[in-house]
Structure 1
Amino acid sequence: MTACKCLLLLFLFLVTPVTSAAPPIERWQTASGVRVLFVESHALPIVDIQVDFAAGTAYENFAQAGIASLTRELVELGVAGMDETQIASRMADVGAQLSGEVDRDRASIILRTLSMGDKRRVAFELLRAILSTPQFPAAVFEREKARSLAALKEALTRPEALVKRAFWSAMYGSHPYGRHETTESLATLERADVLAFHAAHYTAPRARLAIVGDLSRAQAEAVAEELTAALATSPGMTAIAVPELPSSSEQRIAHPAVQAHLLLGLPALKRGDPDFFPLIVGNYTLGGGGFVSRLMKAVRDQRGFAYSVHSHFQPLAQLGPFEIGLQTKKEQAQDALAVTREVLASFLREGPSDEELLAAKQNLIGSFPLHLDSNREILRSVAVIGFYELPLDYLDRYSDNIEEVTLSDIKAAFARRVRPEHLVTVIVAGE
């Protein structure tokens, strides 16, 4: 091959865009029954691990609302042979980071560690102890309970917290997704309640493990076994009830804030539903596309009612919400609400235009690689796939599924999932 041809091939290699492909996901089950998803990546000397338990707020009973979050906080604040200070010190010594969160479906424990043998070994041992031998020290329990109570009392003074709580209650009523901790429910919690909740929900059949990073398959299998071997093998999974759709309603809550906070929505979408892709493509035009969305143009650009307005779907194990939200001046709340409802009604009748559909697809497909541009982002997606048992080719098929959506798909999906007779509205600080 001549030097000119070599240079030409090198030039073409450098200027030709590289197609972003979703990373391959491997799946297996540990001896204790925990389902594992693994993505091998040696780009960085890092391993990210997320353990999800079916232990979110939907699994609380009303009298103990708040126990899911309190249990998740306490689980890492003391293990056999080590208190919280020693755990934090050992994590810091090896450069590892521990975090976690609770939503309505899941309680998550997340670890990031360097992949070098001496570093990761310590981090994995600590995570194993957190999963298998949490101690829930009495003094730490009382401290965290008091902290939770103080945080709740402060939150109940803020309009953004009040509107969210009232909105979920209006959508779900007595369903577990409508449950919120109260000062009364938190105040009555005892350490024994946390121990019981942990024993019932932090078990192998209710756990899902996602591993992303600088390990081989054999190493990942060994880590998964080590982390989960001591988990109890029962109780198993329990299904969350299907929520009933609410009747259309409007609720106003007085508050001295200058800004009115508005939320509109209804239970609409569960994970794995075939309407997912038509709904997210259509929602880009309605209120998910930022400054190019219809809601933003009508509410902000044309009338100046709000700095921002959004709409989105939040799929859950059962029907999660479709939500439209905005803030506006108190005296403009009714007008802003009227315009918002008008835009939604128009979209439900007409759907997006051909031009809007094309723009939505281009943006959603073009931005998708950003959701896979780091170990953390990959971990987040893989954990969702594992917990909600989505297809292993979900990420590979994502762009194709977006591209295949048609205008009729969008109109039909919105007609099924966003029905005005079930739309609830909550306004905090409105007149």
Structure 2
Amino acid sequence: MISSPQRFGLALALTVATLVSAPARAGLAIQNWTTPNGARVFFVESRALPILDVQVDFRAAGTEVPAGKAGLAGLTQGLLDAGAGSLDEEAIANRVADLGAQIGGGADMDRASLTLRTLSSPTERDGAVDLLATLIGQPTYPAAAVEREKARTIAGLREAATQPDAILARRFASAVFPDHAYGRLPTEESVASLTRDELAEFHRRYYTAARATVSIVGDVSRAEAEAIASRLVAGLPAGEAPVPGGAATLPERQTIRVPHPSAQAHIAVGQPGIRRGDPDFFPLFVGNYILGGGGFVSRLTGEVREKRGYAYSVYSYFAPQREVGPFQIGLQTKGSQADDALKVVGTTLDEFLAKGPTEAELRAAQDNLINGFALRLDSNRKMLEQVAAIGSFGLPLDYLDTWRDRVRAVTALQIRDAFRRHVKPEHMVTVVVGGDGDKTAAPKNGATR
């Protein structure tokens, strides 16, 4: 995450305090074009507030990182504001504060992102856009800052290695994606090995116009948006369009138990699920709401929490990514109850795969999802998130306009068939971390690793 100050200037704060967001519309009127050097742009004009929100996404994330260098994408992105052009770190921070802007971002396995929020008045807007363009195109990666952030990252990894949730996430990812970049997370060794030259080379190779998607939402015209987008990527080389990545193979069914002195057992069950844009997305999305995504109205909550009291919270989700992202069921329970809770989870999932949802469950899920749709678009920031996802992952421009109709069109048979295609119990991975502080007997089932 870029470390710029996260605050607006007084003018912006006072302006926002006196205005309210416009009512969310059915969808968004997304305009789309390509800059002369090849960056794709997605724009929504929104005049409710005098604010401009921008997100620039690059295919410069974990999937592009060589084996043994996990952490390279995050450091490359996170140090963009440590020095750029003629500005050092302090000058950049002061400039952000003077403009009353917010600059942020992050990197995951699919995207490295930078975000900007600024007043839409020309002086503040143009200054903020110029600064963001400098950070994107001219980072200097000072050696002292690189070593400082490496040390900070390593300290964070050491702390995370003591936390059961962090241990669970790491072990689950490596087990579900054993031969794919999604399973290669930063380690102390991989981060320690990174050099300033490697960061600069990664930026040179992957921060290009052909790998960039610019999303703009706010109080500007189409002509102004075109000028903003062109300014942001003008200093970037054209580069080459990214090629599709390799697909993840399905893992072997296994249970992994990781000792930890916590009283609660932290549990994840899952496997590779679906990619962004999969034609089965809507049946899986609606079906998962019924299975474990709908909170207190889901089947897993009813069976695991309400009937048996094994866990306060149990959930499931599909996390579509550029390649196949995970399907995951998660919960925490007393160590002595872990095996019993897992049996209930397995039985509930098996029954859902066999029969699918009831018509009553389907109607209730569709009503809840459709009625809550407006909350996905009730602010400029949420609009920006949706537009950026549409642009980055190649979703149809009318994706949001048709979203509610596609949810309503899902049938119980489609849900059952989609789950059977994508959820394979013979490839399910179970990871259990901790619970040793509560166990009264050794685990009854599953391999210990």
Same fold (TM over 0.5): yes
Q: Which residue number corresponds to residue 41 of structure 1?
A: 46
Q: Which residue number corresponds to residue 196 of structure 1?
A: 201
Give the counterpart letter for 2:198 in structure 1: D
Conserved 8 A contact 1:34-1:207? yes
CA distance in 2, matches of 1:356, 1:56: 39
Deviation at 1:20, TM superposition (A): 3.4
Deviation at 1:235, TM superposition (A): 3.8
1:270 counterpart (275, 290, 299): 275
Within 5 Å, give how 1:203-282 maps onto structure 2. Answer: 203-282=208-287
Give the counterpart letter for 1:334 in structure 2: D
CA distance in 2, matches of 1:110, 1:324: 31
| Residues paired across the two proteins, number | 414
Identity %: 51
**Is residue 99 from structure 1 mapped to residue 104 from structure 2 by the alignment?**
yes
**Is residue 315 from structure 1 mapped to residue 320 from structure 2 by the alignment?**
yes
Q: Deviations over 1:21-66 (max 9, x none)?
A: 2120000000110000000000000000000011111211121111
Conserved 8 A contact 1:45-1:115? yes
CA distance in 1, matches of 2:201, 2:322: 23
For residue 372 of structure 2, give the secondary structure of its aligned residue in structure 1: helix
**Is residue 146 from structure 1 mapped to residue 147 from structure 2 by the alignment?**
no
CA distance in 2, matches of 1:114, 1:99: 16
Q: Which residue number corresponds to residue 54 of structure 1?
A: 59
TM-score (norm 1): 0.95
**Stretches of structure 2 lacking an aligned partner (at least 5 in a row):** 1-22, 436-442, 444-449
Q: Deviations over 1:173-212 (max 9, x none)?
A: 0211111111111111111111111111111111111000
Q: Which residue number corresponds to residue 356 of structure 1?
A: 361
Deviation at 1:19, TM superposition (A): 8.2
For residue 241 of structure 1, give the secondary structure of its aligned residue in structure 2: coil
Deviation at 1:87, TM superposition (A): 1.1
Give the counterpart letter for 1:240 in structure 2: G
Q: Which residue number corresponds to residue 306 of structure 2?
A: 301
Within 5 Å, give how 1:265-414 maps onto structure 2. Answer: 265-414=270-419
CA distance in 2, matches of 1:62, 1:413: 33
CA distance in 1, matches of 2:171, 2:145: 31
Q: Deviations over 1:128-171 (max 9, x none)?
A: 10111111111111111110110111111111011111101111
TM-score (norm 2): 0.91
Q: Deviations over 1:105-146 (max 9, x none)?
A: 011101111101111111011001011111111111111111
Give the counterpart letter for 1:153 in structure 2: R
1:119 counterpart (97, 117, 124): 124
Give the counterpart letter for 2:139 in structure 1: P
CA distance in 1, matches of 2:181, 2:74: 15
Q: Deviations over 1:331-384 (max 9, x none)?
A: 111111111111111111111111100011001111111000000000000000
Q: Which residue number corresponds to residue 6 of structure 1?
A: none
Give the counterpart letter for 2:347 in structure 1: E
Q: Deviations over 1:294-324 (max 9, x none)?
A: 0011111111111101100000111111100
CA distance in 1, matches of 2:25, 2:43: 19
Q: Which residue number corresponds to residue 74 of structure 1?
A: 79
**Is residue 165 from structure 1 mapped to residue 167 from structure 2 by the alignment?**
no
Q: Deviations over 1:73-98 (max 9, x none)?
A: 01122111111221111111121001
For residue 68 of structure 2, give the secondary structure of its aligned residue in structure 1: helix
**Stretches of structure 1 lacking an aligned partner (at least 5 in a row):** 1-17
Q: Which residue number corresponds to residue 18 of structure 2?
A: none
CA distance in 1, matches of 2:64, 2:269: 25
- Aligned CA RMSD, in angstroms, stands at 1.0
